[in-house]
DNA sequence: CGGGTAGATTGACGGCTGTCGATGTATCGA
DNA sequence: TCGATACATCGACAGCCGTCAATCTACCCG
């Protein structure tokens, strides 16, 4: 019930409304947006997101080496990005395959205008 | 000297290069980007930025009431946004007037593609 | 000058977060 | 069934961050 309403900026295709400069951000919208930006506020997560974005579909096991972090740390970061809606994962056999959610990135771009 | 080189994404008009999905983000670029996103990863700062963006030019003294925070906290947040290059301030008499840096927002949008 | 106001700075406190080792769970191959 | 692999979870630790009261600095006006 607490989250019946979610910022319109972050729903739908993400090409929505309420850009920063149009009108003062509502408190709830600001909280939601901040949650997503917080997911991007870490250099390791940004590189992880970039690796997945550039690769199209990437396995968790292929992230440890390029990022130079331990397996639990990689798992921690993929979860953070997934919780923010920026990544979706699909378990395929033994492997976890990750993809970016382009609509989510578009929603962020829309909010930053 | 430590910052001789700064991510091209965040310099120039900000309409630059190196979008996330094009190629894996360089370590230095990721660090710079993360610094800016960290500035946006707080609901109070997002509302502050939005207030300034919507108002065009806003005095610090006009931020305490709508944000519901103490004066030192407001000062802390304006400094954080200014350090991230998202806000510029001009001291005019007794008042500090703030404006957004649209190029910076554009640079972030460019990076998120 | 002197009083008042706007803002920055400092110090302190509580909470959040990135990191890793250790452990648990599921899946595949032999 | 057994060993190995991929991933998640837990617990712990260190460092960072948002917040405020108190204080300091700069500026205006009378």
Domains and CATH numbers, chain A: 24-111 (1.10.10.10)
Q: How far is the CA of A8 from the C1' of C21 (A)?
A: 42
List, in sequence order, every residue forming a beta bridge with A97; answer none if it has no partner.
A59, A90
d(CA A36, CA A109): 12
Question: B72-94 pLDDT, tens per residue?
Answer: 999 999 999 999 999 999 999 99
The answer to whether residue A16 scores a pLDDT higher than 80 is no
B57: nearest Cα among B88, B18, B31, B28: B88
Helix A43-55 vs helix B27-40: crossing angle, to nearest 10: 110
Convert the pLDDT of each residue in B89-108 to its tens digit: 999 999 999 999 999 999 99
Q: Is A8 exposed, middle or buried (0-12, 13-18, 19+ CB in 10 A)?
A: middle
Q: Which nucleotide's C1' sits nearest to the alpha carbon of B70?
A: D20
Q: Chain A: nearest CA to B94, how far in angstroms?
A: 25
pLDDT at position A18 is 77
Q: How many CB pairs under 8 A join A and B?
A: 103
CA of B94 to C1' of D21 (A): 23
Mutate to test the interface with B, among A22, A23, A43, A108 (most CBs of B within 10 A): A43
Indicate the residue of B46, B105, B108 with minimum beta-carbon distance to A30. Answer: B46
Q: Is residue A47 within 8 Å of residue B37, measured between CB atoms?
A: no
Q: What is the pLDDT of residues A36-93, one digit of tens each?
A: 999 999 999 999 999 999 999 999 999 999 999 999 999 999 999 999 999 999 999 9
């Amino acid at each position: 019930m607490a989250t019946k309403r979610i910022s319109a900026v972050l729903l739908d295709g993400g090409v929505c409304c309420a850009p920063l400069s149009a009108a003062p951000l509502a408190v709830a919208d600001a909280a939601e947006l901040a949650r997503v930006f917080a997911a991007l506020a870490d250099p390791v997560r940004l590189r992880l997101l970039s690796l997945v974005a550039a690769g199209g579909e990437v396995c968790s096991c292929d992230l440890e080496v390029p990022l130079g972090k331990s397996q639990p740390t990689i798992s921690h970061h993929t979860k953070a990005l997934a919780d923010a809606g920026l990544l979706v994962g699909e378990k395929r056999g033994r492997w976890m395959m990750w993809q970016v959610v382009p609509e989510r990135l578009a929603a962020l771009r829309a909010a930053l205008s």
